[in-house]
Amino acid sequence: MRLIRVFFEKRDRAKYISHLDLTRCMTRAFARTDIPAWFTEGFNPHVYMTFALPIPLGFEGLRESFDFKLSEDGYPLERVRDQLNAALPPDIRVLEAAAAVRKPEAITWADYRITLWDPAGGEALAADWDRLLAKPAIPVEKKTKHKIQEMDLRPLVTQLGRRVEAESLTLDLRLPGGGAMNLNPNLLLGALWADRGREAEYVQVVRTAILTGDLAPFA
């Protein structure tokens, strides 16, 4: 039995699928294939499947992943990719299936591309963003299932690049991701909206990479 990691992209309309619905979608895709996946035991057997870093509702992802167990060692991994793609909707595409290398606990960072559109224009958006980033602290309240945690976002945000256009601002950011600390970009955007007094007219968030502590792609 082999632990297999499936890398996939979730784009366009699929960003409106919740994590629970995505899990159901993948489970139904497996049911339409002859992939010899290992099933859990018990009253309600189902394909064993774990997602390393579930992507929030409304976000697109360029290289997401989940693990499953392959019960036949000689089954071709290219066939896993092709069979799943034949059963999945158009906006969810499997990129690769490979033997899992690192444990999910190795995930430390996530890169995002955030594009903001606003009639005020890209230069105004950039000025608002620069003003927020220049603050010595960006205090926010992070809500969890059990408590509200006060935290400072400023030391957690790394700007990798940005592009200003007529009506938009695109930011490439690196944020903490994983079990030890997972920063949802919506917290940062909420701080920006509060500082500028209103939200942007439209926002696109794309997770472009999931990285380990040594900044290597999660594999």
**129-186 tens-digit pLDDT:** 999 999 999 999 888 777 888 999 999 999 999 999 999 999 999 999 998 899 999 9
Give SS3 for 36: coil
Q: What is the CATH number of domain 105-212?
A: 3.30.70
Residue spans per domain, the chain? 2-100, 105-212
Q: Is 167 helix (H, G, I), strand (E, B) or coil?
A: coil
Q: What is the CATH number of domain 2-100?
A: 3.30.70.580
pLDDT tens column, 86-145: 999 999 999 999 999 999 999 999 999 999 999 999 999 999 999 999 999 999 988 877
How many CB atoms lie under 10 A from the CB of residue 103? 11
* Spatial contact of 219 and 71, defined as CB atoms under 8 Å apart: no
* pLDDT tens-place string over residues 39-74: 887 777 889 999 999 999 999 999 999 999 999 988
Beta bridge partners of 207: 61, 112
Do 2-100 and 105-212 show the same overall fold? yes
Picking from 218, 188, 213, 182, the residue whose alpha carbon sits closest to that of residue 203 is: 188
Q: How many CA atoms lie within 13 A of 137 on its CB side?
A: 6
pLDDT of residue 43: 77
Question: Phi and psi (nearest 5°) for 178?
Answer: 125, -175
Q: How confident is the model at residue 194 (pLDDT cuts 50, 70, 90)?
A: very high
